[in-house]
Amino acid sequence: MNRIARLALPAALVIATSMLAACHQKEEVSKEETATLIAPVAQVALAGSAPAAGAAVPAGKVDVKHVFDTVCSACHATGAAGAPKVGDKAAWGPRVAQGKDALYHSALNGKNAMPAKGGNPSLSDAEVKAVVDYFIAQAK
Ligand code: HEC
Q: Which of 95, 96, 100, 114 to mutate to test the pocket of ligand 1 (most atoms within 8 A of CB)?
A: 114
3-state helix, strand, coil in the chain (%, to 5): 75, 0, 25
Strands (E), the chain: none
Judge if the beta carbon of residue 107 lies within 6 A of ligand 1: yes
Mean pLDDT of the chain, nearest integer:
78
Residue 111, φ and ψ in degrees, nearest 5: -160, 115
Query: Per-residue pLDDT tens for 50-64?
Result: 344 334 455 568 999
Is the pTM value of this prediction over 0.85? no
**pLDDT of res. 46:** 42
Query: Does the Cβ of 86 fall within 6 Å of ligand 1?
Result: no
Find the 90 Cα to ligand 1 centroid distance in Å: 15
Quick check: 139 and 88 in contact, CB under 8 A? yes
* Band of residue 48 on the pLDDT scale cut at 50, 70, 90: very low
